[in-house]
Structure 1
Amino acid sequence: MLELLTEIISRSPSGRITAEQFMDIALYDENKGYYMVPKPKIGCNGDFITTSNISDIYGRAVAKWYFRQTQERGLPSHVCEIGAGDGRFASAFIDEWNKLSGDPVTYFVKEESPYHKGLQSSLIGARVQQVDSLEELKPFCGLIFSNELFDALPVRVVEKQQGRMMEVMVAMESGELKEEAVPLEDPSVLSYIRENGLKLKENQRLEIPLRMIGLISSISEMLQKGIVLTVDYGYTDEELMDPARKRGSLRGYSNHRLIEDFLRSPGKMDITSHVHFDSFIREGEKRDLKFEGKYRQDEFLLSCGILEDLLNHDDPDPFSAASRRNRAIRQLILPSGMSAAFHSIVQTKGLGEG
């Protein structure tokens, strides 16, 4: 990977590349990118844990929620999951759907990683349809779902230094990757900062998620009528500007450890940044995605009726199926668990409200 980056950086006229370009290569290079190589990323043997890996409860809860939407809003039993990982969410969703409805769900998956495609094929096989592009599904009616997708999109990085806006680039020195700040000139980045009213303090660093805007546009273009449910961690504009977050949120994860230097191990660790929630919502509104609500994970799951899945039992064994199930529910909804970090954003299009 380092040889590949050295070659690409040396070919650049300026001798440097953007953080976005670096992340593209480190995460998505078809031969050496982190998400592309055949290595576990999710779960105890990987680098991070998602809600779907805790229990099938999460996928089943969302299935119940969307089933209710189909009944109340006349939506079809069509689902498109973008970035389905190992397929556990899809498997749980489909299992629960089949209990709820005599109308089978048509489940599409858009996945970049060949490794994850293989895992999905093993787990859910013919129960889902793989698509290479969202455009294949135009015009789509139904639910578009993603979980920890937007935090993994490559971002630009800016920093205010001596009163001047700079862009943090990636260069090479003595065979090692290093950051290099240059005056910020890109009109797209400048426009994002201006339109979102982001006023950086001295030495403050911030990620600029231009790819987020592109993906929101693609989702809106493919969706004719339905709901977009986006689950991720992120910050509001006010939280982004908090002095405690002065160095931004771009970081790596390896073996469940946080790595502050995003350049440390390209291709060998996950790289993420917090989603700009307010901008995400505004960009959706610009593209006919009506914002319905942003909910903490516990709020959303409680509205899905997750407490109905708690099991009354007298089994003293903490490893019994009932004990494990109840423990998973608590982990998903208690403030000390994952619920404080994750939010569910609900957007709609073509449903006629308002």
Structure 2
Amino acid sequence: MLLTEIIIKRIKNEGPLSFRDFMEMALYFPELGYYNSKKNKIGQDGDFYTSANLSESFGAMIGRQIEEMWEILDRKPFKIIEYGAGTGLLCRDILHYLKNNTKLYKHLSYCIIEKSESMRAVEKKYLIEKVTWHNSIKTIPDINGCILSNEVIDNFSVHQVIMDEELKEVFVDYDNGFIEVLQPAKKELKEYLKTLKVVLPKGYRTEINLEAIAWIKEVSQFLNKGYIITIDYGSFSSDLYRNARSSGTLLCYNKHQKNENPYQLIGYQDITSHTNFSALGRWGLKYGINYCGMIDQTNFLRALGIKEYQNRALNNPLCKSQVKIHESYINYGLLMAMGMKFKVLIQQKGINQNSLSGLKFAKTSVIKTIE
């Protein structure tokens, strides 16, 4: 049975689904949902690129930042917990850098939280040494180190809301095709906007990612001491809820083409929404996670010395000329085309030091947007 038919059957049996539940089925339904299917998702033959697919230098710079974090934590046993490792390339490149350039490697364990069996199978093609797989952070003991997510939060299933006379939530019904119906928004959705001091004008449509709040709460409970690095596209509330975004930020990707229709190609296209970093910061503070800083990915990588790292690689006599040209091209794409669109948020728990090399060019005033 096709996933579309399964969703239609559920709607007929249970009534309209919240958009959040529809998105959850479209992305994560066993074997048929986008992320649980065997479909190629990432890279040239997939639907989108991530920074890790463009250059191994991206993972090397993450490794360089993590090394500094380990130094701040007094060089003790250190865990990297990566959520949703995708193809495993970022993990591979981080470990390659740390193995060849630092003393951290022998003190390190790398844990990947991956629920999708199909994605685990892809990851295990690249990863053996140092890596273990888990369904949940709850099964990982004594976490002192770094929680890492790269383009994960944007794929959490979101509620969609529209401001009418009062806040309404979008539900999905079926009548010779999927149709949207509005129902009064539940308390949690109203409280989310109230906490962030967001007032929506009539007719405004947007997404609310309650799973991101649950995620930062869970991380806070199991991280004893260390850092959280969240890399994703998105912004603060002041940008996400401006008038120009009155239709929301939801986008779908299939074969490197984007569209705004989540009701087509169900199970065959990615569905994403922008990450609200104000929410991660605000609820992080509530749960004992302090704000270090946020910066665009381009300046994060520059601050960590990616140009110097690239130049050294390009001058390596063992590096073939074709590889040099390719690396230069993808480095430009990484830094310029993608880098300014992505943000890097760093938070910490149990540490007094805010100064990190990757945040050297960050604006200190943005802390006001989450307090």
* Interval containing the TM-score (normalised by the shorter chain): over 0.9
- Give CA deviations for 1:114-172 in whole Å, capped at 9, x if unaligned: 111001111112431111210011331101100000000001111013x3321111111
Question: AA paired with 2:166?
Answer: R
- The gaps in structure 2 that reach 5 residues or longer are 355-371
Give the match for residue 127 of structure 1: 130
Q: What's the secondary structure of 1:122's corresponding residue?
A: coil
- In structure 2, the CA distance between the partners of 1:314 and 1:98, relative to structure 1 (3 Å rule), is closer
Structure 1 segment 188-227 matched on structure 2, within 5 A: 188-227=188-227
Q: Which amino acid aligns with 1:252?
A: C
Conserved 8 A contact 2:235-2:343: no
Specify which of 5, 10, 15 is matched with residue 7 of structure 2: 5
CA–CA distance in 1 between the matches of 2:175 and 2:24? 20
Aligned partner of 1:147 in structure 2 is 150
2:315 and 2:55 mapped to 1: Cα distance? 19
Count of paired positions:
346
Within 2, Cα distance between the matches of 1:24 and 1:67? 36
Q: 1:138–1:223: 8 Å Cα contact kept in structure 2? A: no
Aligned to 2:345: 345
Instruction: Give the C-alpha shift of residue 304 in structure 1.
Output: 1.5
Partner SS state of residue 217, structure 1? helix
8 A contact 1:296–1:340 mirrored in 2: yes
CA distance in 2, matches of 1:30, 1:78: 30
Query: In the alignment, is residue 16 of structure 1 matched against residue 16 of structure 2?
Result: yes
Q: In structure 1, what residue type is equivalent to 2:154?
A: D
Deviations 1:322-354 (A, max 9, x none): 2222223222222xx111110000000011459
Aligned counterpart for 1:169 among listed residues 168, 171, 175: 171
Alpha-carbon distance between aligned partners in 2 of 1:77 and 1:225, rounded to the nearest angstrom: 10
For residues 319 and 27 of structure 1, the distance between their equivalents in structure 2, rounded to whole angstroms, comes to: 41
* Aligned-residue offset at 1:308: 1.3
Match of 1:275 in 2: 275
TM-score normalized with structure 1 length = 0.93
Tell me how far apart the structure 2 counterparts of residues 165 and 53 of structure 1 sit (CA, whole Å): 40
The answer on whether the counterparts of 2:55 and 2:334 sit within 8 Å (CA) in structure 1 is: no
Contact 2:62–2:94 at 8 Å: present in 1 too? yes
Cα displacement (A) at 1:319? 6.3
In 2, Cα distance between the equivalents of 1:314 and 1:192?
52
The 1-side partners of 2:40 and 2:240 are apart by 31
How much has 1:295 moved relative to structure 2?
0.6
Q: How does 1:217-296 map to 2 (within 5 A)?
A: 217-296=217-296
Q: Using the alignment, how far apart are the partners of 2:34 and 2:273 within structure 1?
A: 16
Of the candidates 125, 137, 140, which is equivalent to residue 137 of structure 1? 140
Alignment of structure 1 residues 46-65 onto 2, 5 Å: 46-65=46-65
Indicate whether 1:181 and 2:171 are aligned. no
Q: Would the aligned equivalents of 2:34 and 2:269 in 1 still touch at CA under 8 Å?
A: yes
SS of 2:111 mapped into structure 1 = strand
TM-superposed deviation, 1:318: 10
Kindly state the Cα deviation for residue 261 of structure 1 after the two structures are TM-superposed: 1.2
Per-residue deviation at 1:279?
Answer: 1.2
Give the residue type in structure 2 aligned to 1:21: D
- Partner Cα distance (2:192, 2:321) in 1: 50
Contact 1:306 1:329 in 2 (8 A): no
**What 5-or-longer segments of structure 1 have no aligned partner?**
none
TM-score, scaled relative to structure 2: 0.89
The aligned amino acid for 1:279 is A
Residue of structure 2 equivalent to 1:26: 26
State the 4+ residue runs in structure 1 displaced beyond 4 angstroms: 312-315
Measure how far apart 1:209 and its partner are.
Answer: 0.8
Q: Distance in 1 between matches of 2:44 and 2:334?
A: 17
Q: 1:139 to 1:57 in 2, by over 3 A?
A: same
Q: Are the structure 2 counterparts of residues 143 and 314 from structure 1 closer, same or farther at C-alpha, using a change threshold of 3 Å?
A: closer
The equivalent of 1:160 in structure 2 is 163
